[in-house]
Amino acid sequence: MSRPPIQRPDLGGPFPEHLAIVMDGNGRWARRRGLPRVKGHSAGVDSVRTITTSCARMGVASLTLYAFSVENWRRPSAEVQTLMRLLRVFLWRERRTLMENGVRLRCIGRLDDLPPRALRTLRETEELTANNDGMLLRLALSYGSRSEVADALTAAARDVRAGRLDPDSVDEETLRRYLYDPETPDPDLLIRTGGELRLSNFLLWQASYAELYVTDQCWPDFREEQLLEALRDYAGRRRRYGGLLPDETDPATSPQGAS
């Protein structure tokens, strides 16, 4: 579960290998300015570009952005159409930036739910960037963690029925193999913008031991300065994964302290 942390003395300590972000607050950002919600989504695209580029240059190995949830399909059709259009435009316009920064694109979620044009642009961009050797950018689209687990269980059940999987051998690692992207390590740090204190059905399995950081800044206002603040906060955390660190062990009960 735990991996040796990357150390960044310039930030004050450990550095996350995998960073995940719930990009919340676009609508509130727009309302506070008397603008329609779609203007907030448009402004949020600039933050996606800035944060993706900054993370790639800082040495983040994987960045996962919660771009569109399965629940978001219930939003007004005009807003959903705008979000899908912004997705296509972002993928098209940012291909050069992705290539220049060596970023690989991978998307997770129920991607077949996406409109055909958006899905085609997505697949083309994934293919274009597949051989890049820099940061992995994952966009969670039509994504829900409960849906991911349900899909994993469905796939596992099919393999049990076909005789490819022994049900008595199933453990956590078995289930992980059926998740959307089992190869990418779990996130070390999960950032949520917009001030809300919930996970919103995002990476519930993978983020079990992620450090959480919530900022009141809405996503369109979250830029490199705010990112560095979150990274410095993470650098001061001590990750225990349910256990104790060596300096927290009671000498009287530890093997080293036993007489």
- Residue 16's pLDDT band, with cuts at 50, 70 and 90, is very high
Quick check: is 72 catalytic?
yes
10, 24, 112, 171: which is the annotated catalytic residue?
24
- pLDDT, one tens digit per residue, over 158-183 is 999 999 999 999 999 999 999 999 99
Q: Which amino acid is at 48?
A: V
Mean pLDDT across 226-239: 95
For domain 15-234, the CATH architecture is: 3-Layer(aba) Sandwich (3.40)
More confident residue, 216 or 240: 216
Extract the tokens encoding 143: 């994504």
Q: How many CB atoms lie within 10 A of CB 188?
A: 26
Extract the tokens encoding 68: 């569109």
Q: Is the pLDDT of residue 226 over 80?
A: yes
Q: Is the pTM of this model over 0.85?
A: yes
72, 151, 159, 201: which is the annotated catalytic residue?
72
- Residue 121's pLDDT band, with cuts at 50, 70 and 90, is very high
Q: What is the pLDDT of residue 239?
A: 79
Q: What is the pLDDT of residue 240?
A: 74
Q: Is the pLDDT of residue 1 over 60?
A: no
Q: How many CB atoms lie within 10 A of CB 144?
A: 20
Contact 91, 119 (CB under 8 A): no
- pLDDT, one tens digit per residue, over 51-83 is 999 999 999 999 999 999 999 999 999 999 999
Quick check: is 24 catalytic?
yes
Mean pLDDT across 99-125: 98
Q: What is the pLDDT of residue 160?
A: 98
Q: What is the pLDDT of residue 24?
A: 98
Mean pLDDT across 27-49: 97
Burial (CB < 10 A; 0-12, 13-18, 19+), residue 180, is buried
Contact 9, 20 (CB under 8 A): no
Q: What is the pLDDT of residue 256?
A: 53
Burial (CB < 10 A; 0-12, 13-18, 19+), residue 125, is buried
Mean pLDDT of the chain: 94
Contact 104, 27 (CB under 8 A): no
- Residue 45's pLDDT band, with cuts at 50, 70 and 90, is very high
Q: Kindly report the length of the chain.
A: 259
Mean pLDDT across 206-210: 97
Mean pLDDT across 82-101: 96
Q: What is the pLDDT of residue 258?
A: 45
Contact 179, 205 (CB under 8 A): yes
| Residue keyed to tokens 């000498």 | 251
- pLDDT, one tens digit per residue, over 247-258 is 776 666 655 544
CA 226 vs CA 70, 84, 116, 221, 235: distances in Å: 28, 27, 35, 8, 14
Q: What is the pLDDT of residue 259?
A: 36
Q: Output the furthest CA–CA distance in the chain (Å, rounded).
A: 71
